[in-house]
Amino acid sequence: MKSTAFKTADQNFQLVAIQDIKNEMETKELESWIKLIRVLTHEIMNTIAPITSLSQTISGYFKNLDGKIPDQKTIGNTVKGLEIINERGNGLISFVENYRQLTRLPQPQKKKIVVNRFLESTVTLLQVDPKNEKTQIEWDCKPAELEIVADEKQIAQVLINLVKNAEEALKNQENGKISIKAEINKNDRTQISVIDNGLGIPGDLLDKIFVPFFSTKENGSGIGLSLSRQIMQMHGGTLKVESQPQRTSFTIVF
């Protein structure tokens, strides 16, 4: 719905336009499901294919024995194969647990939070990590008395995730710098931005990074950003990103 005020001669009018966006919403929903199914299929197949192959190989060892006792090499290969199957199986269990985490996020327990104090404690916690020695983390809050009403644990989880992503982007960079800025934006809404001076996110990945289980990290779960966005949506806010070389900014808006 859009509304515009205008005046003709000595009369004031209010023009209201109503547009049905149901089809557009359904299209976007379908696109999101397709992206999610592709990622899920990729992750599951990466786990199931080696398990199937290894189980067939191990089964073949013993089918061809013709009643003979397996030698040490066969036993050794069997043990290694079973260890890999166990490892892959545990990985799949972890994957499913991550999925459950996305679907069972508790409702936020909101209370008043002094942003200045919140940022100070969160940054102090992050700086204790020895992995952050090469990365400079600074923060700023204006006005100093800025407050939000939110679930402190959930918002801390979002902020820590965003900072850790920034650290990952800067891990091979000598002069890595992360800035956390809390302020009131032009729409009079409170926002907190996490900005790093890394290489940036390629344009073709920007629309994928919030898809559950999509990750560019070797050992990434791919749920951090999607979980963070879900937390912000449950707070009535948003999580958005802007990226270019030397400046990537993730912003949570309340």
Residue pLDDT, tens place only, 186-243: 999 999 999 988 888 887 777 777 776 666 655 555 567 888 888 898 999 999 989 8
Contact predicate 213/222, CB 8 Å: yes
pLDDT at 66 over 80: no
pLDDT at position 223: 65
Q: What pLDDT, in 10s, does the model give residues 101-131?
A: 666 778 889 999 999 999 988 888 777 665 5
Take residue 190 and report the two structure tokens written for it.
């409170």
Look over the chain and give the mean of its residue pLDDT values, rounded to a whole number.
Answer: 82
Instruction: Count the alpha carbons within 13 Å of 250 in the hemisphere toward its beta carbon.
Output: 27
State the Cα–Cα distance between residues 128 and 190, nearest whole angstrom. 27
Residue 191 confidence (pLDDT)? 95
pLDDT at 215: 62
Distance CA 49, CA 54 (A): 9
What are the pLDDT digits (tens) for 13-61? 999 999 888 888 777 777 777 777 776 777 678 778 888 888 888 888 8
pLDDT, average across residues 66-75? 82
Task: Please state, in angstroms and rounded to a whole number, the distance separating the CA atoms of residues 106 and 135.
Answer: 33
Per-residue confidence (pLDDT) for residue 7, from 0 to 100: 86
Alpha carbons 78 and 171: distance in angstroms, whole number = 39
CA-based max dimension of the chain: 104
- In this predicted model, what pLDDT tens digit does every residue of 150-169 receive, in sequence order? 999 899 889 988 988 888 88
Higher-confidence position of 189 and 71: 189
**Tokens 């990365």 found at:** 135
Q: Return the pLDDT at 221.
A: 52
CB 156 within 8 A of CB 114: no
pTM: 0.64
Local confidence band at 251 (pLDDT 50, 70, 90 cut-offs):
very high
Whole-angstrom Cα distance, residue 139 to residue 116? Answer: 9
Crossing angle (nearest 10°) for helices 152-169 and 115-127: 50
How far apart (Å, rounded) are the C-alpha atoms in residues 30 and 43? 20
Cα gap 159→115, rounded to integer Å = 12
DSSP string, the chain: -EEEEEEETTEEEEEEE----HHHHHHHHHHHHHHHHHHHHHHHHHHHHHHHHHHHHHHHHHHTSTTPPP-HHHHHHHHHHHHHHHHHHHHHHHHHHHHHHHHTPPPP--EEEEHHHHHHHHHHHHHTSGGGTTSEEEEEESSTT-EEEE-HHHHHHHHHHHHHHHHHHTTT-TT-EEEEEEEE-TTS-EEEEEEE-SS---GGGTTTTTSTT--SSTT--S-HHHHHHHHHHHTT-EEEEEEETTEEEEEEE-
Which domains, ranges and CATH numbers included, belong to the chain? 22-103 (1.10.287), 111-253 (3.30.565.10)
CA geometry: angle 121, 126, 128, nearest 5 deg: 100
What pLDDT sits at residue 98?
65
